[in-house]
Amino acid sequence: RPAFLGGFFAHQGRDIIPRWLKLNEVVKSGQPANQVNQEADGTEFFQKLVENLFPVNFAPASALARSLNVPVDAPLKVLDIAAGSGVWGIAIAKVYPNAVITAADWEGVLPVTRRVAERHGLGNRMNYIPGDINESNFGTDYDLATLGHILHSEGERQSRKLIQRVYEALKPGGMIAIAEFLVNNE
């Protein structure tokens, strides 16, 4: 079923919790349990993770798509940064039949994006930009860009640079939609 979360929980048990169990070592050494923020080290990890995250993020992505103040028949040019499974762009494309999505992510992750887009019947409305999102040329004139749960892994300085680059890829009046984990200061 589309909302089945079994893959997500299996991934948590197999790939996430074992890393958290090394927290004492990480704190003492100051080094991550496993490095996954570089393409060479993290592609396999993210290939497994992103497809399992699709059902977790589809409802919020669909809510975003429905909340855009844009006529449903408008031709939208959408940039999906760190697209992963493509959930943000796919949800938008399902609401906006004239939307074309450009998914930017690591070359090794984009086959997952393609597979999920095809499964949703949207392969012909997807374009792809392989590479590091901090270096890739996104192009220009996008109506909307999505940053779905990526900024928390980039740190403040790199996130500011990425948001600036994404802003420069928008056409005048374009929008950036950010989905992110926020710290509860209380």
Half-sphere exposure of 79 (CA within 13 A, CB side): 29
At 73, the amino acid letter reads D
3-state secondary structure of 124: helix
For the entire predicted model, the pTM comes to 0.85
CA angle (68 as vertex; 61, 181 as ends), nearest 5: 40
One digit per residue, the tens of pLDDT, for the chain of length 186 reads 777 777 777 777 777 788 788 889 889 988 876 666 665 666 777 788 888 889 999 999 999 999 999 999 999 999 999 999 999 999 999 999 999 999 999 999 999 999 999 999 999 999 999 999 999 999 999 999 999 999 988 889 999 999 999 999 999 999 999 999 877 777
- Both tokens of 77, joined, read 């040019």
